[in-house]
Amino acid sequence: MKIYTKTGDKGQTSLLGGLRVEKNDPRVEAYGNLDELNSWIGLLRDQEIPHHPQYSFEPEILKNIQETIFVIGSYLASDPESSAKYLPSIPFEQLALLEINIDFMESKLSPLKNFILPGGHISVSFVHIARNVCRRAERGLVGLKEISDYDPFFLIFLNRLSDYLFVLSRYWTEILGVPEYKWIPNPRT
């Protein structure tokens, strides 16, 4: 099987099930955003976060997140009129896993009193980029909802994932021992 089929040379692609749509179709845009997000999560998995006696981080959660994103993308990439019986099951338990990890990380962090500026370490900056891509994917799903139904879990998962990524950025800042850049506005004169 060749990787190039030439069927998309005129700006169309096929959804799973065979329906042809334009490459800028909101559904294609939505699963394209998820694909980009999945790549950023993969980059996070590749970061070397040192072991710290006070903190722990299990990179396996990032793999679970990637798998969930891939499942959501497969549903979005499917022809809404065709059966989804061949698609993987939706891993609803991943939502609880995100929340457990958010709570754990927050228990190790000082209370948030300011907005945070991205930066401090390249790995932390990668988490912030992933968070922003996640928010874009979330906005894309909201736009898609106007023209096509999908499982409400998808939107809930992305919303919680962006929260997880924000807390992860703060947590990695702690593990790496780098400064957290707080945004402190200049007083009005």
Q: What percent of the chain has pLDDT over 90?
A: 55
Q: Give me the pLDDT at residue 135, please.
A: 98
The per-residue pLDDT for range 26-61, each reduced to its tens digit, is 787 888 899 999 999 999 999 988 877 777 777 889
Q: Give me the pLDDT at residue 22, please.
A: 59
Residues 6+ apart with CB under 8 A from 183: 114, 115, 116, 117
Q: Tell me, yes or no, whether 97 lies in a domain.
A: yes
Q: Tell me, yes or no, whether 6 lies in a domain.
A: no
Q: Which of the four pLDDT bands, split at 50, 70 and 90, describes residue 13?
A: low
DSSP state of 112: P
Statement: residue 21 has pLDDT above 70: no
65 — phi, psi (to 5°)? -65, -45
The per-residue pLDDT for range 134-146, each reduced to its tens digit, is 999 999 999 888 8
CATH, residue 81: 1.20.1200.10
Q: Tell me, yes or no, whether 36 lies in a domain.
A: yes
The per-residue pLDDT for range 74-118, each reduced to its tens digit, is 888 877 667 666 778 888 899 999 999 999 999 999 998 999 999
Number of domains within the chain: 1
Domain boundaries, position 50: 13-183
Q: Which of the four pLDDT bands, split at 50, 70 and 90, describes residue 162?
A: very high
Q: Tell me, yes or no, whether 53 lies in a domain.
A: yes
Secondary structure (3-state) at 133:
helix
Cβ count near 120 (within 10 Å): 20
